[in-house]
């Protein structure tokens, strides 16, 4: 067998891996499946929430945290018996002082795991952990590749701008303190894979990585679940978004739907979970949307695919996106997409979606109105999106290109140029 065709032993690292919400878990699930289908051996190291994995051949190596942010009991106080070592103490103390410790503490725990298994892997692939522990992994003799979907510095800026008053701003600055660590690690860690030219620009600007260090590799879509399915629900608009995150533009979406609902029979389904009594919950009541809006969460890929393909219009109203896998999933479903003209979205959708100014309620409502009234335009935009996905976005192609970067990292390690 040619050396370039030999199966690789891959360690994939992810500090949290929500399977249906959040790009890290989705990326991990699909990449690991396609790597195994190409004949490689994959171990996934993850903290809670653990990923869903699609192949029995993939080994999930749990790296448990104290799970301080579980949906059913966030910011909990662990029992004394739950503390296993100094990393647990660090994690709890960091959380109690308003910070987000998981990238740092996961990197320290997984370093310990890899030190004990340093001869078990040919390459280590970090899925946007970027903790200080990562810097020691190459010193174990392991070639190292990092994925950054987009730098969280962008989220930090938007959240701080949206914060009201000194206390809330201070809290956001403390919560996003880990971003400084991620920037320091990214600038020193070696090859970085990212999903778009927009994300590359932001990584170079905010994290200080050299342009030569950052390689663009778009994401794929799982067409087993995301494809056209026939009949659509009249008046349905769908969006996939973290409901309470200002970054995702759900407030803009709801205000636009509220305007349209006064003159058209429309409703919106948001795949996301708002906090009870939180900003989105309050806005729904303020706008008197009532049965015009529905939030769903915890659904299967099959159910999500049916939901996206059953809508007449899809929306990605974000204030920023480093890529937006939901945008690609909407287009794969043949659903006409309206997206914000920001971040990587114009790069991802090309001329196969309708772009609007981020945060502009009037423009978004006007485009919704136009699409609602024109089946012909919905058909044209939906068909253009579907064709673009078939040409550009498949997970098998992502996996093959990723393996090429693995082999480059291994070669650099062998020649001493890493």
Task: Report pLDDT digits (tens) over 220-247.
Answer: 999 999 999 989 999 999 999 988 888 9
Could you tell me if 346 and 338 are in contact, meaning their C-beta atoms sit under 8 angstroms apart? no
**pLDDT score, position 417:** 74
Tell me the pLDDT band of 5, cut-offs 50, 70 and 90: confident
| This prediction's pTM | 0.85
Residue 3 pLDDT greater than 70, yes or no:
no
User: How many CA atoms does the CB half-sphere of 308 hold within 13 Å?
Assistant: 33
Fold matches, 3-220+395-415 and 236-392: yes
**Mean per-residue pLDDT, 362-381:** 98
Query: Residue 19 — pLDDT band, cuts 50, 70, 90?
Result: confident
* Mean pLDDT of the 113-136 span: 98
d(CA 162, CA 297): 25
pLDDT of residue 2: 57
The rounded percent of the chain whose pLDDT value lies above 70 is 98
* Domain spans of the chain, in order of start: 3-220+395-415, 236-392
> Mutual orientation of helices 153-162 and 165-175 as an angle, nearest 10°?
170
Q: For 41-57, what is the mean pLDDT?
A: 96
Lowest-pLDDT range of 18-22, 110-114, 359-363 = 18-22
CA distance 269 to 271: 7
pLDDT of the residue at 22: 64
The CATH architecture to which 3-220+395-415 belongs is 3-Layer(aba) Sandwich (3.40)
Alpha-carbon distance 365 to 233, whole Å? 19
Average pLDDT over residues 247-270: 96
| Domain 236-392: CATH superfamily, name plus number | Glycogen Phosphorylase B; (3.40.50.2000)
Sheet arrangement for strand 236-240: 293-296, 267-271, 236-240, 313-316, 337-340, 354-356
The answer to whether residues 336 and 385 touch, using CB atoms and an 8 Å cutoff, is yes
């Amino acid at each position: 067998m040619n050396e370039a065709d030999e199966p690789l032993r891959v360690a994939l690292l992810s500090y949290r891996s929500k399977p249906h919400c959040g790009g890290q878990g989705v990326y991990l699930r699909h990449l690991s499946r396609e790597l195994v289908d190409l004949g490689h051996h994959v171990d996934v190291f993850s903290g809670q929430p653990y990923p869903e994995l699609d192949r029995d051949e993939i080994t999930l190596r749990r790296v448990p945290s104290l799970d301080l942010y579980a949906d059913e009991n966030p910011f909990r106080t662990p029992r004394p018996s739950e503390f296993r070592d100094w990393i647990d103490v660090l994690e709890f103390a960091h959380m109690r002082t308003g910070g987000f410790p998981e990238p740092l503490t996961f990197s320290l725990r997984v370093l310990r795991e890899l030190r004990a298994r340093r001869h078990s892997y040919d390459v280590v692939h970090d899925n946007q952990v970027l903790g200080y522990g990562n810097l020691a992994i190459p010193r174990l003799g392991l070639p190292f590749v990092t994925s950054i979907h987009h730098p969280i510095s962008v989220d930090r800026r938007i959240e701080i701008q949206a914060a009201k008053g000194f206390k809330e701003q201070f809290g956001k600055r403390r919560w996003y303190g880990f971003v400084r660590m991620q920037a320091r690690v990214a600038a020193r860690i070696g090859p970085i894979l990212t999903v778009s030219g927009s994300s590359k620009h932001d990584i170079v600007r905010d994290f200080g990585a050299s342009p030569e260090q950052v390689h663009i590799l778009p994401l794929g879509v799982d067409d087993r679940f995301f494809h056209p399915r026939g009949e659509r629900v009249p008046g349905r608009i769908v969006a996939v978004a973290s409901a309470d995150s200002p970054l995702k533009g759900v407030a803009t979406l709801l205000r636009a739907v509220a305007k349209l609902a006064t003159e058209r029979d429309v409703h919106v389904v948001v795949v996301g979970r708002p906090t009870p009594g939180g900003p989105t919950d309050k806005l729904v009541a303020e706008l008197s949307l009532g049965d015009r809006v529905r939030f769903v969460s915890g659904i299967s890929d099959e159910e999500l695919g049916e939901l996206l393909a059953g809508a007449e219009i899809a929306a990605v109203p974000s204030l920023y996106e480093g890529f937006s896998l939901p945008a690609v999933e909407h287009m794969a479903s043949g659903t006409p997409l309206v997206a914000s003209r920001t971040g990587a979205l114009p790069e991802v959708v090309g001329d196969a979606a309708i772009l609007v100014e981020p945060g502009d309620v009037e423009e978004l409502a006007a485009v919704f109105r136009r699409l609602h009234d024109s089946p012909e335009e919905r058909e044209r935009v939906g068909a253009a999106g579907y064709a673009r996905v078939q040409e550009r976005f498949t997970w098998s192609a992502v996996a093959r290109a990723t393996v090429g970067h693995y082999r480059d990292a291994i070669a650099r390690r062998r020649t001493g140029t890493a």
